[in-house]
């Protein structure tokens, strides 16, 4: 069973790698700094629709009446993983699969296994999941053009995806037939994946300048093409991977983001709203056409109906990208070499695989130079959903190459070893000035 689970996850991740900043996977330095505007990292343009205006040196922009271009080089991009608060999930599923396929159980052995694994399944139904995610820019993106009078145009193209596999629990029954004793359950492994290509076009402009500071406003139009998949197999039939009950659909929609930034000499305040229009994306039907199926495929199809009746699943499903409001603040000192920053989502939103996110991030950074690497460190917490706490670190080498990673403070045992429940890694090469 453990081997099969690893194969399923490998399939999920390979699919993800083939596909505004996803709420489930901060891109680039945002995994350390948070969703804050920082002209040293052009990927931070995702933090606020008004940010692209600040991705240029102001003096250089003034000296180029025809305007300036700035673009990404490679990335950033990365991956993340998260598991539920349940130790040795794969080992327990391995044991459960074995006992479900055992036709030589005694009555006492069956009763003992029923008691043991009913407890496990109840816990697995609450915390038994594995999630992987990936997100990153297509090479050369984002692309910015700033005109000294008319503002800044921004173009970005992001590939992103997430996949989550979890356990749907059902009580184990002891079945006596023809002199043999076996165990039966509809407990299943259920997965959802959401792959997306997002093309964004933004415009930002300074609309006010006083002695106290500058006001920059921005807007962004995003066109999103999503591939949404669901699949289910009973634990007993997990080896028959060609017989899973599956659905697949493509769905396209658009979203609008708005942002504002107030900037003084050393302090920045920002606010934004993403998915202003709350676009909807559609999964295909799961568990339809059971009458024409046989064997394990029929069992899996009928099992969908079982979990629909218990309100654990629905045959048809939609994903609504809910509106989210966020704020940011940062301050620089020591001639801009050091900074502190924070970002906060004001409300929680749910992603396409039903996980809830609302990020709080506090961080500090030193920018370094060509010889001395830049360094940043931060703390983040998902205020909703899992409520996991993270420690995040990042490094910049030669003013171009960025490496950021973070890990959760909560741990879980995997193969007897204590490991973080969640981690993120991002790597990329960005232009700088």
pLDDT value of residue 14: 40
pLDDT value of residue 104: 83
User: What's the domain range around 244?
Assistant: 2-429
pLDDT in tens, 221-236: 999 999 999 999 999 8
C-alpha to C-alpha distance for 200 and 143, rounded to whole angstroms: 10
The percentage of the chain sitting over the pLDDT mark of 90, rounded to a whole number, equals: 67
pLDDT value of residue 297: 94
Q: Which of 14-18, 74-78, 136-140, 267-271 has the highest mean pLDDT?
A: 267-271
Residue 3, pLDDT above cutoff 50 = no
- In angstroms, the Cα distances linking 105 to 117, 174, 188, 298, 378 are 15, 10, 22, 26, 54
Task: Tell me if 154 sits within 8 A of 202, measured CB to CB.
Answer: yes
DSSP string, 59-109: HHHHT-TT-EEEE-SEEEEEEEEEE-S-TTHHHHHHHHHHHHT-S-B-HHH
Domain containing residue 337: CATH number: 2.40.160
pLDDT value of residue 232: 96
Looking at the DSSP bridge assignments, the partners of residue 297 are none
Could you tell me where the DSSP H helices lie in 253-325? 295-309
pLDDT in tens, 160-211: 999 999 999 999 999 988 778 889 999 999 999 999 999 999 999 999 999 9
- Strand (E) or helix (H) holding 322: none
pLDDT value of residue 431: 64
C-alpha to C-alpha distance for 193 and 327, rounded to whole angstroms: 29
Closest CA to 283 of 191, 414, 415, 384: 191
Task: Tell me if 19 sits within 8 A of 227, measured CB to CB.
Answer: yes
Residue 369, pLDDT above cutoff 80 = no
Q: Which of 18-32, 249-263, 393-407 has the highest mean pLDDT?
A: 249-263
As given in the structure block, the two tokens for residue 261 are: 């930034």
Backbone angles phi, psi at 85, to 5 degrees: -80, 70
3-state DSSP assignment of residue 293: coil
Residue 433, pLDDT above cutoff 80 = no
* Arithmetic mean of pLDDT over the chain: 90
Give burial (CB, 10 Å; 0-12/13-18/19+) of 304: buried
C-alpha to C-alpha distance for 228 and 250, rounded to whole angstroms: 6
pLDDT band at residue 315 under the 50/70/90 scheme: very high
C-alpha to C-alpha distance for 265 and 23, rounded to whole angstroms: 30
Residue 95, pLDDT above cutoff 70 = yes
pLDDT band at residue 330 under the 50/70/90 scheme: very high
C-alpha to C-alpha distance for 164 and 424, rounded to whole angstroms: 16
Backbone angles phi, psi at 425, to 5 degrees: -135, 130
- Strand (E) or helix (H) holding 16: helix 2-17
pLDDT in tens, 28-55: 889 899 999 988 888 888 899 999 999 9
Per the model's pLDDT, the better-predicted residue between 5 and 53 turns out to be: 53
- Strand (E) or helix (H) holding 147: strand 143-147
Phi-psi region of 287 (alpha: psi -120 to 50; beta: other; left: phi over 0): left
**For residue 12, how far is the Cα from the chain centroid?**
13
pLDDT value of residue 417: 84
The percentage of the chain sitting over the pLDDT mark of 70, rounded to a whole number, equals: 94
Q: How many domains does the chain have?
A: 1
C-alpha to C-alpha distance for 430 and 425, rounded to whole angstroms: 16
3-state DSSP assignment of residue 48: coil
- In angstroms, the Cα distances linking 431 to 42, 114, 195 are 7, 60, 28
Residue 143, pLDDT above cutoff 90 = yes
Longest alpha-carbon distance in the chain: 91
Per-residue three-class SS string for 364-432: EEECCCCCCCEEEEEEEEECCCCCCEEEEEEEEECCCEEEEEEEECCEEEECCEEEECEEEEEEEECCC
Least confident of 7-21, 288-302, 409-423: 7-21
C-alpha to C-alpha distance for 206 and 53, rounded to whole angstroms: 8
Closest CA to 390 of 352, 347, 365, 359: 359
How many of the other CB atoms lie within 10 Å of CB of 12? 23
The residue with tokens 């297509």 is: 138
Instruction: Kindly give, in sequence order, each residue whose CB lies less than 8 Å from that of residue 283, ignoring residues fewer than 6 positions away.
Output: 228, 230, 247, 249, 316, 317, 318, 319
């Amino acid at each position: 069973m453990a081997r099969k689970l690893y194969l399923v996850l490998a399939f999920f991740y390979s699919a993800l790698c083939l596909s505004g900043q996803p709420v489930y996977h901060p891109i680039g330095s945002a995994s350390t700094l948070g969703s804050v505007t920082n002209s040293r990292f052009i990927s931070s343009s995702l933090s606020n629709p008004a940010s692209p205006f600040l991705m240029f040196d102001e003096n250089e922009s003034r000296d180029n009446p025809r305007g300036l271009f700035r673009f990404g080089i490679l990335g950033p991009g990365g991956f993340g993983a998260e598991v539920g608060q349940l130790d040795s999930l794969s080992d327990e599923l391995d044991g459960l699969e074995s006992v479900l396929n055992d036709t030589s159980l005694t009555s006492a052995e069956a009763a003992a296994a029923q008691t043991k694994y009913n407890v496990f399944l109840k816990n697995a139904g609450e915390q038994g999941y594995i999630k992987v995610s990936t997100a990153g820019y297509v090479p050369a993106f984002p692309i910015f053009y700033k005109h000294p009078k008319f503002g800044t145009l921004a173009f970005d193209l992001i590939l992103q995806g997430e996949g989550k596999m979890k356990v749907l629990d059902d009580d184990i029954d002891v079945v006596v037939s023809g002199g043999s004793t076996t165990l039966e359950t509809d407990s299943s492994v259920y997965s959802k994946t959401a792959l997306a290509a997002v093309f964004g076009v933004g415009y930002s402009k300074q609309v006010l300048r006083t002695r106290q500071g500058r006001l920059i406003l921005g807007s962004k139009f995003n066109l999103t093409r999503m591939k949404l998949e669901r699949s289910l197999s009973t634990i007993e039939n997990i080896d028959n991977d060609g017989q899973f009950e599956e659905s697949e659909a493509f769905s396209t929609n658009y979203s609008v983001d708005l942002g504002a930034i107030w900037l003084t000499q050393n302090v920045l305040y920002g606010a934004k709203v993403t998915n202003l229009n709350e676009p909807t994306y559609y999964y295909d039907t799961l568990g339809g056409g059971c009458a024409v199926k046989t064997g394990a495929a029929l069992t899996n199809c009928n099992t969908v109906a079982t979990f629909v009746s218990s309100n654990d699943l629905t045959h048809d499903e939609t994903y609504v990208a809910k509106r989210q409001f966020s704020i940011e603040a940062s301050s620089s000192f020591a001639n801009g070499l050091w900074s502190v920053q924070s970002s906060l989502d004001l409300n929680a939103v749910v992603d396409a695989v039903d996980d809830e996110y609302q990020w709080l991030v506090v961080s500090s950074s030193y920018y370094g130079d060509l010889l001395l690497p830049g360094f940043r460190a931060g703390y983040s917490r998902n205020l909703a959903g899992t409520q996991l706490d993270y420690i995040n670190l990042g490094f910049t080498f030669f003013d171009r190459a960025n490496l950021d990673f973070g890990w959760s403070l909560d741990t879980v045992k995997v193969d007897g070893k204590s490991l973080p429940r969640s981690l993120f890694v991002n790597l990329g090469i960005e232009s700088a000035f």
